[in-house]
Amino acid sequence: MTVHDGDSSAKAESSNASIVDEKKKHGIKGAFRGFYKNVIKPAFPEAIQDIKIMHGMTALEARVKKEIVDSNLFPEVNHVAEVRRGLELCPEEQAFLAKRKAHVRDHFAKYLGLDPSEVDPRDVPVVSFGGSGGGFRAMLGCSGYSQRMKDTGLWDCLSYVSGVSGSCWSLAAYYTIGKGSHQKVIDHCKTRLAPYHPLSGDAIRTILSSPGGARITLGPLIQKSKSGLQTVAMDLYAVFTTGWIFFQEDPVNAPGGHAEKEVAGAQRSWYKYSSAREYTDNGGDPLPIMTAIRHERPWRDWVDKEHPFKEPDHSTGEHAEAPDAWFQWFEMSPYEVGCDEIEAWCPTWGFGRPFEEGKSTMQLPEQSLALLLGLATSAPAGPLTSYLSTVSRNLPTGFLGNSVHKMAQTVARFWGKQGTEEFSNHHPLHACNEHNFMFHYTPLNKEKGRPPGLENSPRIHLIDSGMDNNCPTYVLLHPAREADVIINMDASSDVQKDTFQERVDQIGGRRGMKFTKRHDVKAGEDPSDPGRFDGLYAQIYDGVPCERPATVVDSYGRTVTNPPAPVYSRECTMIYMPLLPNERVVPDFDPSTAKFSGSYNLVWTAEQVETLIKVCNANFNDGESTIREALHEAWLRKKALREGTYKGPAHTVPASATAQRPVDVSTEQQSTDSSLPVQPSVVPGTQQPVQLTAEQLSANQQSAGGISAPAAVNGQAARPQGVVGSADQMSSHPAHPTTS
């Protein structure tokens, strides 16, 4: 696909006029001919001979509008979605956890070499895994580490897996095209990620000319438009990028792949996130949680009810100078989409519908997984605006409304010839429009009206959570999930700069937790030393509850008012696994700096994929003994808490030990020394330690009612002191941290 020059808008308008003239002269058939001549042919010159694209596009809109009301195709259209309030887990997740704990017990014992009869199911720690952002590097890194967890048995000890940005692609692929196999996902990436860019003409032609390709790719946009939402460039990014990543060749034309041959007469639909329940409802796999954030900016003035904010001008510095703005973390599981800060959730199959007073008002099919991934993975889209503007301008007028064409002009104006570096300060892409399931949630009070802010806008904007923090720690510290161990794989570009302490302090301070690095191990100076990073492939951070600080340092290095969040009142061990170089397996390769593994590169050869996977495998192997150590400690901690013998945090390994030392979990030397005192924690942003007694910790962790959260006011969590009012939408991405 070629990028249009500066007068492309005029050409697009001329093309649209030609289509209208053809329609006047020759009716609807003439309009189709005009559409092909003036839109398809210029946009997809490689596809001129492929009449399947023409045929599929012309009838697509009418067909999709008919199908989305068919309950035989989409049974969920017979059901009204309702908003759930509260901080507790939804019934489906609670049922999952009960089955998952039964599944994990024996696998946990096997992984640590314990006798299953000696392991009380109540003592088995809740273990979670999180993958960071970082484009395809993060996607492949998440898959590589996950595959090793499968091989070693650790995957069967996990209750939750979560991701930021690129890692969300990995998790979504595992539960869809991977059919529960990380190796299938990796093998698929080796053949799919090259030679075409996801938004290239060749990739788009391949998708749209495949059987049902146009319907599966563009159908979700037609449904979204029918729901009353305007489509924007990020919607196109979502469906075409995910469409290409997940695209599988027809097994008739390309035998030997992982795609299954369709049953005669069967009709393919777009991927739905709730389909992952096939793997989670029986407790057979951990529950996946994708993440996105909403930018709460109470200082902004509203323009109108549909679009509360003006288009942002980041050059004015308003974001950098706004200490009382914050990001609300939204999570997306196969069961629900919601936010614990506002204690509001809607069924995943109902997200994307218009809502009023807590119920959906238009019963549409479940939104495409591709569109959800567009919310979660929007950070890599910045440098792709030239592709996106071309695709946008060449869609027919009226196909998804004129908003797409207006958006193309905005993209061209904001982006121009600026390079990728400018993306970090001036993100030109308008965030996706989504229906706000909290719209008019509170019944109308004629005297007082409705609460201002979130409940008063029909739209919300969710964006890549890497804009706030590049690890999914926040959602894994949901108080009701009671995580004992969190393993964070970090494929950020700054993993050699020792910045994780800042990253975890930001979220820890918000949750009322202090994480302290156990061993102060530094990397060697010699880049060619095979053991340069020994002790750093898996690093333990001990987390204990602390008082919430008044301020935190955000990802932009600014000291800001600590945003509201439900606090976490349990000890939690963090295992940090940065994607570092490993000279022992791939000399002279640094995943953070190699050109092909950059965050914004979306074309990888099979050899490049294999190179990164080798490093992931070796890094996991070098850090696995630390994981076993942390899991064994967590088991002993829970056991002592249940038996009433717990005296506080204690390390089973001397401070001089490194992550490379194997741990013999069968010896009594690993038991917790109950005589050690509770260690004080330091509140982030202060030098004042907060002493927590063992009795307080034990009471907090054993009490089912020990969850503390800011009081909700009109559906909003309590604001930190100094924050007044509320506002709704994020109308464009703010400046992005350089970590992703």
Q: What is the pLDDT of residues 236-275, one digit of tens each?
A: 889 999 999 999 875 445 545 555 554 444 456 899 999 9
Would you state the pLDDT for residue 727? 30
Would you state the pLDDT for residue 619? 98
User: Looking at the predicted structure, is the pLDDT value of residue 627 above 60?
Assistant: yes
Lowest mean pLDDT among 385-399, 416-430, 475-489, 719-733: 719-733
Task: Give Rg (Cα) of the chain.
Answer: 26
Choice between 137 and 397, residue whose per-residue pLDDT is larger: 137
Mean pLDDT of 174-185: 98
Q: Confidence band (pLDDT; 50, 70, 90) for 617?
A: very high
- Compute the mean pLDDT over every residue in the chain, rounded to the nearest whole number: 77
User: Looking at the predicted structure, is the pLDDT value of residue 42 above 90?
Assistant: no
Lowest mean pLDDT among 12-16, 183-187, 203-207: 12-16
Would you state the pLDDT for residue 706? 34
End-to-end CA distance of the chain: 27
Lowest mean pLDDT among 127-131, 402-406, 442-446, 656-660: 656-660
User: Looking at the predicted structure, is the pLDDT value of residue 137 above 90?
Assistant: yes
Residue % of the chain over a pLDDT of 90: 54
Would you state the pLDDT for residue 694? 42
Per-residue pLDDT tens for 409-441?
443 343 333 332 333 333 446 788 999 999 999
Mean pLDDT of 704-718: 34
CA dist 100 and 496 (Å) reads 35
Would you state the pLDDT for residue 303? 44
3-state SS class at 397: coil
Would you state the pLDDT for residue 112? 98
Mean pLDDT of 48-70: 73
Would you state the pLDDT for residue 365? 97
Q: Confidence band (pLDDT; 50, 70, 90) for 323?
A: low
332's CB contacts (< 8 A; 6+ apart) are 273, 289, 290, 291, 292, 348, 351, 372, 375, 376
Would you state the pLDDT for residue 451? 72
Q: Confidence band (pLDDT; 50, 70, 90) for 693?
A: very low
Strand 485-490 versus strand 127-131 pairing type? parallel
User: Looking at the predicted structure, is the pLDDT value of residue 574 above 70?
Assistant: yes
Let me know how long the chain is. 740
Are 591 and 642 in contact by the 8 Å Cβ rule? The answer is no
Residue % of the chain over a pLDDT of 70: 67
DSSP string of 329-343, one letter each residue: EEEE-SSEEEETTTT
Mean pLDDT of 474-498: 96
User: Looking at the predicted structure, is the pLDDT value of residue 583 above 60?
Assistant: yes
User: Looking at the predicted structure, is the pLDDT value of residue 670 above 90?
Assistant: no
Mean pLDDT of 184-197: 96
Choice between 336 and 734, residue whose per-residue pLDDT is larger: 336
Strand 127-131 versus strand 158-163 pairing type? parallel
Would you state the pLDDT for residue 482? 98
Would you state the pLDDT for residue 734? 35
